[in-house]
Amino acid sequence: MIVVDNVVAGYRTPNGLLKAVDGVSLEVRDGEILGIAGESGCGKSTLLKLLYGSFSEGLEIFSGSVTWHDADGSRTIDASDFHKHWWDLFSYVPQGSMSAMNPLMKIGAQMIDAGSAHRTIDRAARLVRIRSTLADLDLSEKVLDLYPHQLSGGMRQRVLIGLAAYVDPQVILADEPTTALDVVVQRQILENLVRLQRSRKNSIVIVSHDLGLHFQIADRVAILYAGRLAEIGTADEVLRQPAHPYTLGLVGSLPQLGDKRPRQGIDGRPPSLLNPPAGCRFHPRCARAMPVCSQVEPELVLVSPGWVGACHLLKEIA
Ligand SMILES: Nc1ncnc2c1ncn2[C@@H]1O[C@H](COP(=O)(O)OP(=O)(O)OP(=O)(O)O)[C@@H](O)[C@H]1O
Ligand code: SF4
Ligand SMILES: [Mg+2]
């Protein structure tokens, strides 16, 4: 399990501290599929990097902690040491598939290399696993002999998923892993990934704008807005009967099958994280905003067991 405890994290910029994740607490449970959604710039990739312990590009934790705990509670690892367990406990499918691969190495060599961090499987066993994972992802073994630039965007994304999955990590962290693919292929690949993980009882954290995809594959969904957690609960709860007006807006903007009426989106854009609005960060865009919303930041409150949201309206229910 990964535990994120009241983390404030982000980047030092020439214009000041940019808190891309600001006071977020959540956990990634063993064996679950956790979806992370929210508009562009809300901090999804930053949160995923924290869960992977990837502190390149200036990402820093300013306060709070991110830790991994094994199932019997006997071992705890701090995010600053996660990198020692990459490809073993954690693997990562980064956003943007081209930059994530070494352009000078064939796919097969890259896959073998990635698995070398894994203590328990030797080279021969790795090859067997690579072959079966490629088959699961509907990829021909011929890709092993190709360089990244010889693959289409869609194949590269599948290779990256294969790379992350074949080493059998406890947690796969995938950032918009299928955006270059058409919707039908996206779903097929993710279903394969989910099947792989479920059979091994491992966790997946998946960042995607696609709420339909979360509804289809995630056990729980976290909605981020402007670096903060708007709501988290089971995919069914959060996406079928959103507790937070922001989630309602996101869900409302989805096209419904067979429904030709225009969908209601959310006006405006998320704020700059260098200078977010006071009170509830969503108040300038919220149709239900009340005077208190621009002054007091809403705390996370329980909607029902395991389901929490940060909105002043929810105080009335809780
Ligand atoms: N390396 C960096 N240095 C400075 N600021 C950054 C860096 N990476 C991200 N940011 C800023 O942090 C904020 C959150 O970015 P992040 O990439 O986490 O958002 P996101 O939700 O993943 O967006 P998208 O949906 O567009 O991928 C944004 O304001 C972004 O400009
Ligand atoms: S706290 Fe207020 S502004 Fe924020 S989402 Fe709830 S009603 Fe809207
Ligand atoms: Mg992102």
Distance 39 CA to ligand 3 centre (A): 9
Distance 270 CA to ligand 2 centre (A): 14
For domain 2-317, the CATH superfamily is P-loop containing nucleotide triphosphate hydrolases (3.40.50.300)
> Per-residue pLDDT averaged across 285-311, rounded?
95
Report the alpha-carbon distance of residue 89 to residue 68 in Å, rounded. Answer: 9
pLDDT tens profile 214-234: 998 899 999 999 999 999 999
Q: Token pair 């199932």 is at which residue? A: 71
pLDDT value of position 125: 82
Rg (C-alpha) for the chain, rounded Å, is 20
Contact 22, 8 (CB under 8 A): yes
Domain boundaries, the chain: 2-317
**Ligand closest to the CA atom of residue 296:** 2
**Cβ of residue 301 lying under 6 Å from some atom of ligand 2:** no
Going by alpha carbons, the residue nearest to atom 1 of ligand 2 is 311
**Of the candidates 76, 254, 151, the residue with the CA atom closest to the CA atom of residue 161:** 151
Which atom of ligand 1 lies closest to the CA of 47?
A: 18
> Per-residue pLDDT averaged across 109-123, rounded?
76
Going by alpha carbons, the residue nearest to atom 26 of ligand 1 is 40
pLDDT value of position 299: 94
